[in-house]
Amino acid sequence: MLQLRPGCECCDRDLPPDATDAFICTFECTFCASCVTERLKGICPNCGGDLTPRPRRPASKLARFPASTERVFKPQGCAPR
């Protein structure tokens, strides 16, 4: 199950579980749309994989399957490409 991490690893912007502008790679590294397009050019700085829109978990499932509270913030790896 996806962790649905709560923030962008580059700018630390909040990305709640229902965010429509959250992106992830296959390792679930999480970024906002702004960082993906302006800084990362669609490539994960951690693994080199593609960043794709993160699916949203239905609100009815969040109580039983909550989003992660683990915040990852690594701005040093997010230099413009």
pLDDT in tens, 62-72: 999 999 999 99
Domain locations along the chain: 1-57
- The confidence score (pLDDT) of residue 79 equals 77
> Residue 80: which pLDDT band, with cuts at 50, 70 and 90?
low
Q: Are 45 and 36 in contact (CB under 8 A)?
A: no
Q: Are 21 and 63 in contact (CB under 8 A)?
A: no
Q: Which helix (H) or strand (E) holds 23?
A: strand 22-24
CATH number corresponding to 1-57: 3.30.40
pLDDT in tens, 29-74: 999 999 999 999 999 999 999 999 999 999 999 999 999 999 999 9
